[in-house]
């Protein structure tokens, strides 16, 4: 991610089988931005199987501010956003859904809020136009849980429409479904986060790509986020703590074995007491947890820095500048988010 100063705004849009909405979406974006800002629009085709890429190629041919990235297959929204963030040239980066549920007219409002001294402005779909039981309710519960665990209280982590200062994304790398946790990750690094109510529209084209199964993935990513935030530089505290509890349980079980052997039933052989087996198992687990902690301490020294592999594979980039970049050039030239 270069974030050069010649463009004020980069709009990043993940696209997966959204052929019906792309033309209208592009028109709305152009109308919303107008001549207010120098800008670029980066569409990331996340392995669409419909006519989305052909439409994006046409938009690129007609508009010099349009850039198109095409993945070889579907890698997911997080990967699409990571690729768009990496290529973005603007001082402000605004991700946006391609399904027309986010309203491009809200973009100037979010950008203006940044000028008040914030680094990230997150959209809040207060009047959400989705099915309550399968989308809205799980989202509300998830947002509450994320806020409790991360300490960064937002009403709507799942809203793609946000505005970021480019420098706020430089040190953040994305995996899994972690794009929704960017405000929390950035806040832990000292960035200032604000939230604004944005318009949310019902889906009128295409079909939703998410279901209840995404909730489980988000919970697993949340555990990862909490671990990385609290123990990424000291994993021995986690594994050592578990090992300590297992060791304590082993000692207690061992003492009970001896107590029953010599004080309660002197003629009962210790190897017939199940507590002896429990004591040995807990002692073994304690040793294993400590060893895992030591190994994690060694691995964390090279965490992320030792790997320079993206979570996506790019087939084609239609650049908004004179010389199109290849996938290899994109990887070599930038050390952006993965």
The alpha carbon torsion through 152, 158, 160, 163 (nearest 10 deg) reads: -10
Long-range contacts from 264-271, C-beta under 8 angstroms, 24+ separation: none
Distance CA 92, CA 119 (A): 9
Show the low-confidence residues of the chain (pLDDT under 50). Answer: 2-4, 322, 330-331, 333-338
pLDDT for res 292: 87
The alpha carbon torsion through 311, 312, 313, 317 (nearest 10 deg) reads: -130
Show the tokens assigned to 280: 């040995």
pLDDT for res 326: 52
The alpha carbon torsion through 232, 84, 11, 333 (nearest 10 deg) reads: 100
Show the tokens assigned to 95: 């991700």
Round to the nearest angstrom and report the end-to-end CA distance of the chain. 10
Distance CA 79, CA 6 (A): 26
Can you give 139-160 as a three-state secondary structure string?
HHHHHHHHHHHHCCCCCCCCCC
pLDDT for res 321: 57
Residues 6+ apart with CB under 8 A from 293: 235, 236, 237, 238, 239, 240, 243
151-183 core/surface letters (b: 16 or more CB in 10 A; e: else): ebebbbbbbbbbbbbbebbeebebbbbbbbbbb
Q: How many CB atoms are closer than 10 A to CB 215? A: 16
Q: What is the pLDDT of residues 235-270, one digit of tens each?
A: 888 888 889 999 999 999 989 888 887 777 766 667
């Amino acid at each position: 991610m270069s974030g050069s100063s010649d463009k004020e705004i980069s709009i990043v849009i993940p696209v997966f089988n959204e052929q019906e909405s792309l033309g209208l979406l592009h028109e709305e974006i152009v109308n919303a931005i107008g001549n207010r800002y120098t800008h670029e629009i980066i569409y990331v085709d996340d392995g669409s199987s419909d006519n989305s890429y052909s439409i994006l190629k046409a938009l690129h041919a007609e508009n010099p501010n349009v850039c198109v990235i095409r993945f070889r297959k579907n890698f997911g929204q997080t990967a699409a956003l990571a690729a768009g963030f990496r290529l973005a040239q603007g001082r402000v980066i605004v991700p946006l859904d391609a399904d027309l549920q986010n309203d491009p007219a809200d973009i100037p409002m979010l950008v203006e809020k940044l000028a008040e001294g914030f680094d990230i402005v997150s959209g809040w779909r207060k009047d959400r136009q989705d099915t309550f039981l399968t989308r809205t309710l799980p989202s509300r519960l998830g947002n509450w849980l994320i806020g409790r665990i991360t300490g960064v209280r937002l009403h709507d982590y799942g809203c793609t429409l946000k505005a970021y200062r480019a420098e706020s994304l430089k040190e953040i790398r994305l995996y899994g479904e972690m794009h929704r946790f960017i405000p929390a990750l950035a806040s832990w690094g000292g960035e200032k986060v604000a939230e604004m109510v944005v318009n949310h529209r019902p889906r009128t084209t295409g079909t939703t790509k998410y279901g209840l199964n995404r909730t489980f993935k988000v919970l697993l990513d949340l555990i990862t986020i909490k671990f990385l935030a609290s123990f990424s530089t000291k994993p021995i505290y986690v594994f050592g703590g578990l090992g300590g509890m297992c060791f304590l349980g082993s000692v207690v079980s061992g003492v009970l074995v001896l107590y029953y052997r010599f004080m309660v039933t002197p003629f009962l052989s210790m190897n017939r007491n199940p507590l002896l087996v429990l004591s040995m198992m807990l002692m073994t687990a304690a040793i294993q947890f400590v060893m895992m902690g030591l190994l994690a301490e060694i691995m964390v020294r090279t965490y992320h820095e030792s790997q320079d592999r993206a979570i996506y594979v790019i087939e084609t980039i239609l650049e908004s500048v004179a010389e199109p970049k290849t996938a290899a050039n994109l990887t070599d030239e930038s050390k952006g988010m993965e």
